[in-house]
Each structure stands twice: as C-alpha cells, then as structure tokens.
Chain A
Amino acid sequence: MTQGLPFPAANDIDETWNFIKYGVDKILIQDINQGIEPSLYMNVYTAIHNFCVQPNSSHTNAGTVSRGAALIGADIYNHLAEYLTAHLTETLNNSTIYNDENLVDYYIRKWDRYVIGSRYLNNIFSYLNRHWVKREREEGHRHIHDINTLCLIRWKEDLFNPIHSRLIGAVLDLINKQRDGETVPTQHIRAVVQSCVALGLDENNTKKTNLTVYRSFFEAQFIESTAAYYSKESSEFLQTMGVVEYLKKASDRLREESGRITMYLRPESEEILRSTCVQVLVSSHSEEIQEQFFPLLKGDRESDLKLMFYLLESVPGGLIPLQKNLFSYVKEQGLAAVDALVAGSKEAPASSIDTQAYIDTLQRIHSKYTNLVQAAFNSHSDMQKSLDDACRYYINNNSVTNKPAKGRAIKTPDLLARYCDTLLRKSSKNADGASNDAYLDGAMTIFQYVDEKDAFEKAYSRTLARRLVHGTSLSQDAETNMITKLKGICGSDYTNKLQRMFQDMSVSTEMHDQFKEYLDNADVKPVGDFTPYVLAESFWPLPPFNSQFNLPPELTVIKDKFTSYYNGKHTGRKLQWLWNFSKGELKANISKSSKVGFTLMVSMVQMAILLPFNDALEYTIEQLKDITLLDDDFLKGSLTILLKARILFMSGGNGSSSGSGKPSSADGDAMDVDEAGSASKKKTSGATIDEALVAAPGTKYRLNTDFKSKKMRINLNLPLKNDQKKEAEDTQKSLVDDRRMFLDACIVRIMKARQELSHVHLIQETIDQSSKRFVPSVTDIKKCIESLIEREYLQRVDEKTYRYLA
C-alpha cells in the first residue's frame, strides 16, 4: 500500500512516476468496485502536486531550465500516456483469443473498467489538468488534452483503431443474428454503440457529443450490412413467397428496424436507416409491388392494400402508379356498374332508365372506394384525388349519359334532379324524414362530382317549381334543408333563385288571405276556392302559356277581381296567367250508375273543355274551339286525356278527312272495354285511342253518362306530351344561353382586372372560375372571346395576348 512507500523526492521524475504508477495501476487494473481509498487518492494527488510546484533547478533535464515549469507537467503527462499505451496494447493482445460475441463481451468489460478508471485518473491528475494542461492549451498546444480525454484518445488509437473492424464486424453479426430471430445480448450492442459515441471527441468542446466516430466506424458499416442483409432477404422472399406475403414481411421489417433505433442505436441514425430499408425493401422492388396493386384492388384486399400503401408511401413517386391504377380501376368499375344497370333494364330504353337505381349505382361505387381510400390509404390526398377524378369521370360520362344514338341523351344532373324530386315529393314512401335526409345527402355526394352543376340547377328548379305550384312538396323543412345542402356546396349565388321561389310562395300565401278579405269586403262570392300564386318570372322556370284561351265564364269574375286587386296593390307589374299550370277540381254528377258524384282533378284547359258539357251533352271540335279559343295542340292533348279516361267519347264526324280506314274503331274499342267494366285503370281502358283522329275536323265529343270508376277522385291533370318535350328543349337552350352569358361575364371580369392577359392564362382562369357551375370547353370560351373582340370589349395585342378595352 501507498502508506508503505515514502513520498518521492519532488524533483525526481522517475521516483515520482513510480509512486504515481502504483496508484494508476490500482485505478486501471485492479478491482475497483470498492472504490479507491482516500489516502491513496490523496497521496498520488499530493505527489503530482509536489512534483509540479518544485523549484526546478535540479531537474534531470538541466538544459531546459528556463521552460522548466512547462516540462515538469510534460514529463508526467508523457509518462501517463506511455503507460496507457502499454496498458491498452496489453488489453489488445489479450483480445486476440476472443471472437465474435466473446470479443464484444470482452471489449465491453474492458471498456467499462477503463471508463471508470479514466474518471479517477482525471480526478487524481486534476492539478495537472488545472494548471499545466490548461496553460499548454492556452498556448495553443492542441495535442495536449485533459487527462480524461487523453485516456479516451489513447483508447481509440491504441485499442479501438486496431480492433474496430473485428469488433464492429462482430456487433453487426449479432444484429443480423437478431434479425434472423435469435436472442442476442442487446445491451452489449448498445454498450459498443455508446463507446463509439464516447470516443468521438470534439476538439474544441469535449463536453459536446460528437458522432464522428460513431458515424464513420459504426453507422456506415451498419447501414451497409443492413442493405446487404435485406437486399438478399427481400429477393429470396419475393421469389418464394410472392408479393402479398412480402408486403407483410417488409412492413414488419420496417417496424423492427425502427425499434432497433430505440433499442440500441442513436436516434440520429433513424433517418438514414429508414431510408436505407425503404430503398432496399421497397424501392428496389417497387415495380413488382406496384404490379400487384391491380389484382389486390380487384380482390378488395383492403388490409393488403393498406400495407402496400404504407410501404410505397415512403418511396418518392411510389404512389404514382397506384394513383393511376386507382383512377382507371374505379372509373371502370363505375362504368361497368352503369353498363350492368342499363343491360339489366333491357325492356326500357336508356332514356327511361330507373333514376333511383342509377343514382344508387353511382353512389354504391363511390362509397365503396371512398371507404377503401379512407381505410387503406389513410385518405392520402393524392389517392383521394385519383378517386375523385375517377368518380367525376364515370358520373359524368357513362353509358346512360352518352347515348345520343337513340334520342336525347340524359345527363346525370337531370337524373339527379329527378331523383331529388322523387325524394322531396309527397308520397307514402317518403314518410321517414331521417332516411330521406340520408338519401339526399347521398345525392349531394354525387352532385359534388357533377360537372354541369348549372344543368342541375335548371332541372332542379323546374321540379321544385312543380312541387311548389302543385303543392306536392314533402315539407317545407325538407325543401329548406335541401337548399342549405346545395348552398353548402355551391355557395349562395347558386341557390339564390331557388330561395326566391320560396319567398314568392310565402308572399303568395299571405296575399291569398288578404285577397279573401278583399273579396269579403267587396261582397263578392267566390266560385269555389281560388288560390293564386304570384311568382317572379325571372326566378321561375315555368314556360309561358302560349295559346289563346277563353276562360270559362264561371271563373272570369274571380280572375278579373284578382287582377284589379293585384294592380291596385302594385303598380307597374304585369300579371301573366299560366293556365297550363292551373288546376281545379270538378264535382261531376255525370254518371247515372253512381249515386255520388266523382271529383275530377283537372287542368284549367280540361276544365274549360268540360264545363260547357253542363249545358249540352255533345259538342263538335269546332264548337269547343270556339268556346275555349285554344290552340289545336292544347285542345288535342287535353281531349286525348279525357278520352282515355273515358269521360268523353269521340265519334268521327262527317267531315273526317283523316283518310284512315277505321274511323270508328276507337269508338268501338272503347265501348268494348267499357262493357268489360275495367275502367279504373286509365292505361288499359284508353290505350286504343287513335291520336291522329283526336281533334280532327268535324269530330264530335259526347259526355260519357255511364262513367264508372272505382275511385272517387280521379286525377286527370297529367302532363301533356308535347309540353314535356318542348320544355326539355327550352331548358337546354336556356342552359346554353346562360352559359354563354356566364362565360362572357367571367372573361370580362378577368380581363378588367388584368387589363392584359395571355390566351392560355385567360382560358385557364375562366375554367377555374366556372368550375363551380360547369366545365366549359375551350372552344366555347374561344367563341366568347371572339365575340367579345367583335363587340370591342377586347382586342388582340399579338397572336397570344388580349387587352381589355374600357
């Protein structure tokens, strides 16, 4: 023990070093678990101190007296360094018998011991550290370090450098073994990694963690070995197990590797490790993986798709083929579903496709793949976009909408409007408000994909107008709700007209009450109940009544009253009576066989035709024409319905010039069916009316005094055929006009703001601005630009640029 030894002569370096060496030996080599006795610690410290502060005159190295103080420290420092080198060389030599795991084990043991030792050494030599080392470093001697650092440097140079390839190789083997599923001492790996980190020294600040050693001696090799391991594994696995299994394997591996980071690696390595793994596991096989996307999609293999997405998401550009495939697949699915629907309803031409089934089909495909994108692709924006594009495609262009060969093609917006109409109309089916709302929400989902939103607005306002005027709307709430939905998607501009329609309705109801009062005050007794609706022409898509019409005298009074009442209230407004939208109920005591009269729900035109039969039982067509002043089309259409319903009978007059050889057949057939007594269904009863003969000159019409029906209320107010056709044409035309105006306004607005703009930009901005309503074709836009040039709103600056002319 130290106590036994005398203090060394302060001026004798060898003596002093021997004295110190004893303590160093103890610190570095012997078991240190109990710590070092304070006395030893004190003695060594004192010896160093004594040596360093001794007057320098009799120093062995007499020639360097002047710089004595510097050298005194240097002697001890050098001795210590040499000592460490010798100690570590020995440790190194002893390591040769170890290999692999044992080597790792050995290294760790030695390292741990050495680290503790160095800490003590640093303390014992702290006097040196504080004075000599500090001064040396201040003088710029960068190769001099504090003792702890010196220890680490010696370790790195004398032990780590010669041993590292074997050591790191062994560690990497351990990691690979773990990858193979064996249990390995992960704490050893962790320790080696930490020692690498500790060996990284920052020249300027030893306290700072420096990863240079970790990076260059460990991380690089680790990444390399990882890449090698997985490139081998993945190729083999893919060959033997196929892509689908591989998806699972690869994603497991990715998770495993990121676990490795927390287990024993530096977090700084996470990124490079991950990118390496992704590169090896996914990128290099991305084509094989991507090829499997289509089959998986077809098989609805959601979880596998999810894995695939997870893997490819981290590969730059890895999702692009998936997006393309998703687009084309969903598109095909949508088209195929519509095709199947069309094929399934063979008996009906495409134009009379079942609206509900159609919308349901569109929705089914959409929701199926929306769910998929959510569940498997985490609603990734690019995937969602592909889905949206695909939906937009099949919703706007499919075998229902593209059928110009047979008559008029029906567009999705029209069908959608019809669908909404059935949902919002009063009927027994629509009793349940909640589910109805869900259906409407579904319809709105489809609506979002509709390109021609303006066409929907047109069609919708048409059906809405009918619902409101005819009082067939399900409920005010349902309608308002629907408008709110539309507003949510397209903004209030879009629903403005629709909302005005509701306003008109409520104003009309108010007015109705006031008018009643007015009548009471005027002491006029109304004939029946009179409900007028005053509707602003510009908001209501109702076609005008374009025929002369002589109102039945029974009703003229009330009409005139109302007109004068209205004009009294509002000056400068013009009332237009839409007889084609008026309806009434007639009590008809026409049948001898029935004690109770029937109630006939008829259009105004029909009423005008029927009322004269109060006075006589038979009229010729000419007489009816004189009475009503109606155009042939209206007369004929309305008569046909009355004949079919068998309220009236027709008999060919002597003037019948139709030349058809069987003028009486209609009559005869009708009689037959009548006797058969199945008069309740209009369709069967009147199917044989020869329409060419209706309203032929000279034809006579007789009231059916034997009228029978099982129903007490009979609805005769059916839409006229030519009305419907014409309306569709009108709608189309007004749609085209509206679009042109919209585009004109749009272009002018853009140009006014920009003054000068290139063709390409103008086209692009115009498309952007109108996309909420419809998708204009470039040709349409060009035509508008041209007409604006002609009208001198714009001028060409050169071939590619326009200028706005104020």
Chain B
Amino acid sequence: LNKHDYNLDRTLRLEWDRIPKRREAVMLENIFNNYRDPEGGDIIGIDGTVQFITDLGLELSDSVVLAIAMTLNAEAEGEFSKLGFIFGWLSLSATSISEMKVAVEHMKEQMQNNPAYFKNVYRFTYTYILPPNTRSLPTESAIAYWELLLTGRFQKLTEWNEFILNVYKKSISKDTWNMILEFANYIPNDPDLENYDLEASWPSVIDEFVEYLKENKK
C-alpha cells in the first residue's frame, strides 16, 4: 500500500493485474458479473446490490449488510466496486453464494460478540452513508442508522433520537457519531448519569443531551 500512496483502488487494481487469475478469482468475477450494473463501469449498482443481498438470504435492513459493505470496501451506499468485491470475498475465502452465506453468518456473530469488530463496522458506517461531498450526516439518516445499529446497545436511544430530532436539529459530525457509541458503552456503568462529567472529553452535544435528560426527568 505504501507504494501507491494508500490509494486502495489503484493498489488493488495493480494487484489484480499482477497475480495470475486464480480459479477463485474467476469464480468471484463471474458472480460479480451477474450483478454488475448494466449501465457500465466495474461496479454493482443499487439494483444489483438489492438482488445480491436478497440472494444471500438477507434483508436490506439487516445491519450485517454494513459489515459486508465494510468487508467489500464499499465507498458509497449500495455500490460495490469489482475489485473491492473480489478481494473482500477472497479474504474470507468465500467464492460461492453458499460460502458467502457462511461468511455472513460469521460476520453476524462477530458483530454480536466482538465489540472491536462492531466498533469498526459502526465507524465505517458513517463514511459509508455520508452523502457525497458533505462533511456531516443529515439527522434523518443518522437516526435511521442509529436505530439499525444501536437498538439494544444504547439504553437511551429513543431519548437520544428525540433529542437530535427536536432539540439539536443539526446534522451529525463524525466525531459525534463515533463518540455516541462510546457514550452508549458508558451508560451501563452510570445508568443515572450521576457521575457524568460535563467537563470531560465528551462532545458538547452529548453534554447537552445529558442535561436534557436530567431536565426532562424532573
């Protein structure tokens, strides 16, 4: 990677050209071509993605889709590049739909039980769903994805979403996005937020949220 200025796509492409086309790679290329965007380009477009996900036996609204997107190095929502697709699955040694299903099961299990893995998926999600050429995430999509990812993980999720929607009303910065997961992990240690330190390094939006919670409790 160093050689190519961390340009992942270019690196992959060179890699692709250099290695002899192994059987697995050819198989994956065939699968890829099944879903490939008819409009052209080496990508699977949104329709292909829907089909692909369905063929994996998954709902589009399944959070594991985000893990797949991360594995396949997807750069925009509902889009897979050819190289990302092939190398992603190769790295999991999955070369057929059925093998992919097994790999997806493994991802699910990881998301459930491996906090570090989940954190990666969670952080990846922000860049993944960020609309092109914007710096921060619109509230609506932020809330939708929080619902998807944090339900059951963040005890104050409902209140948080309410707060973001009705009080905060601004788009969500990456920092806020990242830190809210930390905050979700913090809450079990201090359920009533009595020890929450307004002067600690929490983003101020979380400070405001905590104050909002305390006010509404009264």
Distance in Å from the Cβ of B118 to the closest Cβ of chain A? Answer: 16
In the bound complex, how far is the Cα of B197 from the Cα of A759, in angstroms? 12
Q: Are A800 and B201 in contact (CB under 8 A)?
A: yes
Q: A435 at the A/B interface (Cβ < 8 Å)?
A: no
Distance in Å from the Cβ of A83 to the closest Cβ of chain B? Answer: 84
Residues of B contacting A760 with CB < 8 Å? 200
Within 8 A of B (CB), among A657-676: none
Residues of B contacting A432 with CB < 8 Å? none
Q: B135 at the A/B interface (Cβ < 8 Å)?
A: yes
Q: Are B201 and A779 in contact (CB under 8 A)?
A: no
Q: Are A796 and B175 in contact (CB under 8 A)?
A: yes
Q: Are A790 and B173 in contact (CB under 8 A)?
A: yes
Q: B178 at the A/B interface (Cβ < 8 Å)?
A: yes
The majority secondary structure among interface residues of chain A is: helix
Q: B17 at the A/B interface (Cβ < 8 Å)?
A: no
Within 8 A of B (CB), among A773-806: 778-779, 782-783, 786, 789-790, 796, 799-800, 802
Q: Are A759 and B135 in contact (CB under 8 A)?
A: no
Q: Are A783 and B204 in contact (CB under 8 A)?
A: yes
Interface extent on B, as a size class?
10 to 19
In the bound complex, how far is the Cα of B177 from the Cα of A786, in angstroms? 12
Q: B29 at the A/B interface (Cβ < 8 Å)?
A: no
Q: Are B174 and A759 in contact (CB under 8 A)?
A: no
Distance in Å from the Cβ of B38 to the closest Cβ of chain A? Answer: 38
Mask: chain A, 124-143; 1 = CB below 8 Å from B; 0 = not: 00000000000000000000
Q: Are B136 and A778 in contact (CB under 8 A)?
A: no
Q: B138 at the A/B interface (Cβ < 8 Å)?
A: no
Contacting B198 at CB < 8 Å: which of A778, A789, A800, A802? Answer: A778
In the bound complex, how far is the Cα of B175 from the Cα of A783, in angstroms? 12
Q: Are B207 and A759 in contact (CB under 8 A)?
A: no
Q: A420 at the A/B interface (Cβ < 8 Å)?
A: no
Contacting B204 at CB < 8 Å: which of A782, A790, A800? Answer: A782
Distance in Å from the Cβ of B10 to the closest Cβ of chain A? Answer: 23
Residues of B contacting A800 with CB < 8 Å? 200-201
Q: A76 at the A/B interface (Cβ < 8 Å)?
A: no
Residues of B contacting A778 with CB < 8 Å? 198-199
Q: Are B200 and A759 in contact (CB under 8 A)?
A: yes
Residues of B contacting A607 with CB < 8 Å? none
In the bound complex, how far is the Cα of B172 from the Cα of A790, in angstroms? 11
In the bound complex, how far is the Cα of B199 from the Cα of A527, in angstroms? 64
Residues of A contacting B78 with CB < 8 Å? none
Q: B88 at the A/B interface (Cβ < 8 Å)?
A: no
Within 8 A of A (CB), among B183-218: 198-204, 207
Q: Are A779 and B204 in contact (CB under 8 A)?
A: yes
Distance in Å from the Cβ of B135 to the closest Cβ of chain A? Answer: 7
Please give me the residue from chain B that is nearest to A763 by CB atom. Answer: B199
Contacting A799 at CB < 8 Å: which of B136, B182, B199, B204? Answer: B182
In the bound complex, how far is the Cα of B24 from the Cα of A368, in angstroms? 90
Q: Are B207 and A779 in contact (CB under 8 A)?
A: yes
Residues of B contacting A789 with CB < 8 Å? 173-175
Interface extent on A, as a size class?
10 to 19
In the bound complex, how far is the Cα of B201 from the Cα of A782, in angstroms? 7
In the bound complex, how far is the Cα of B199 from the Cα of A779, in angstroms? 7
Contacting A796 at CB < 8 Å: which of B135, B178, B198, B207? Answer: B178
Residues of A contacting B179 with CB < 8 Å? 796, 799
Q: Are B135 and A790 in contact (CB under 8 A)?
A: yes
In the bound complex, how far is the Cα of B201 from the Cα of A802, in angstroms? 10
Of the candidates B182, B200, B207, the one having the most CB atoms from chain A within 10 angstroms of its own CB is B200
Please give me the residue from chain B that is nearest to A800 by CB atom. Answer: B201
Q: Are B174 and A782 in contact (CB under 8 A)?
A: no
Residues of A contacting B173 with CB < 8 Å? 786, 789-790
Residues of A contacting B204 with CB < 8 Å? 779, 782-783, 786
In the bound complex, how far is the Cα of B177 from the Cα of A614, in angstroms? 70
Residues of B contacting A783 with CB < 8 Å? 204
Mask: chain A, 760-776; 1 = CB below 8 Å from B; 0 = not: 10010000000000000
Residues of B contacting A796 with CB < 8 Å? 175, 178-179, 201
Q: Are A759 and B175 in contact (CB under 8 A)?
A: no
Residues of B contacting A802 with CB < 8 Å? 201
In the bound complex, how far is the Cα of B202 from the Cα of A463, in angstroms? 41
Distance in Å from the Cβ of B73 to the closest Cβ of chain A? Answer: 22
In the bound complex, how far is the Cα of B130 from the Cα of A308, in angstroms? 69
Residues of B contacting A782 with CB < 8 Å? 201-204, 207
Distance in Å from the Cβ of A439 to the closest Cβ of chain B? Answer: 40
Q: Are B207 and A786 in contact (CB under 8 A)?
A: no
Q: Are A786 and B203 in contact (CB under 8 A)?
A: yes
In the bound complex, how far is the Cα of B202 from the Cα of A800, in angstroms? 9
Q: Are A790 and B175 in contact (CB under 8 A)?
A: yes
Mask: chain B, 122-161; 1 = CB below 8 Å from A; 0 = not: 0000000000000110000000000000000000000000
Contacting A790 at CB < 8 Å: which of B136, B199, B202, B207? Answer: B136
Distance in Å from the Cβ of A795 to the closest Cβ of chain B? Answer: 9
Residues of A contacting B174 with CB < 8 Å? 789-790
Residues of B contacting A799 with CB < 8 Å? 179, 182, 201
In the bound complex, how far is the Cα of B115 from the Cα of A81, in angstroms? 91
In the bound complex, how far is the Cα of B200 from the Cα of A802, in angstroms? 13
Residues of A contacting B200 with CB < 8 Å? 759-760, 800
Residues of A contacting B198 with CB < 8 Å? 778-779
Please give me the residue from chain A that is nearest to B205 by CB atom. Answer: A786
In the bound complex, how far is the Cα of B175 from the Cα of A782, in angstroms? 12
Residues of A contacting B175 with CB < 8 Å? 786, 789-790, 796
In the bound complex, how far is the Cα of B204 from the Cα of A378, in angstroms? 45
In the bound complex, how far is the Cα of B199 from the Cα of A763, in angstroms? 9
Please give me the residue from chain A that is nearest to B185 by CB atom. Answer: A799
Residues of B contacting A790 with CB < 8 Å? 135-136, 173-175
Residues of B contacting A763 with CB < 8 Å? 199
Distance in Å from the Cβ of A18 to the closest Cβ of chain B? Answer: 95
Distance in Å from the Cβ of B186 to the closest Cβ of chain A? Answer: 9
Please give me the residue from chain B that is nearest to A785 by CB atom. Answer: B201
Distance in Å from the Cβ of B107 to the closest Cβ of chain A? Answer: 25
In the bound complex, how far is the Cα of B173 from the Cα of A789, in angstroms? 9
In the bound complex, how far is the Cα of B113 from the Cα of A150, in angstroms? 89
Distance in Å from the Cβ of A779 to the closest Cβ of chain B? Answer: 6
Residues of A contacting B182 with CB < 8 Å? 799
In the bound complex, how far is the Cα of B204 from the Cα of A778, in angstroms? 10
Within 8 A of A (CB), among B64-115: none
In the bound complex, how far is the Cα of B175 from the Cα of A786, in angstroms? 7
Distance in Å from the Cβ of A768 to the closest Cβ of chain B? Answer: 15
In the bound complex, how far is the Cα of B179 from the Cα of A778, in angstroms? 18
Residues of A contacting B135 with CB < 8 Å? 790
Distance in Å from the Cβ of B199 to the closest Cβ of chain A? Answer: 4
In the bound complex, how far is the Cα of B175 from the Cα of A778, in angstroms? 18
Distance in Å from the Cβ of A469 to the closest Cβ of chain B? Answer: 41
Residues of A contacting B201 with CB < 8 Å? 759, 782, 796, 799-800, 802
Point out residues on B near A: beta carbons under 8 Å. 135-136, 173-176, 178-179, 182, 198-204, 207
- If A786-B173, A796-B175, A799-B182 are given as contacts, then 13 extra A-B residue pairs at C-beta distance below 8 Å, sorted by A number, are A759-B200, A778-B198, A782-B203, A782-B204, A783-B204, A786-B175, A789-B174, A790-B136, A796-B201, A799-B179, A799-B201, A800-B201, A802-B201
User: 9 interchain pairs (CB within 8 A)?
Assistant: A778-B198, A778-B199, A779-B198, A782-B201, A782-B202, A786-B176, A790-B135, A790-B136, A800-B201
Closest 10 CB pairs of A and B: A759-B201, A778-B199, A789-B175, A782-B204, A790-B173, A783-B204, A786-B203, A800-B201, A799-B182, A779-B204
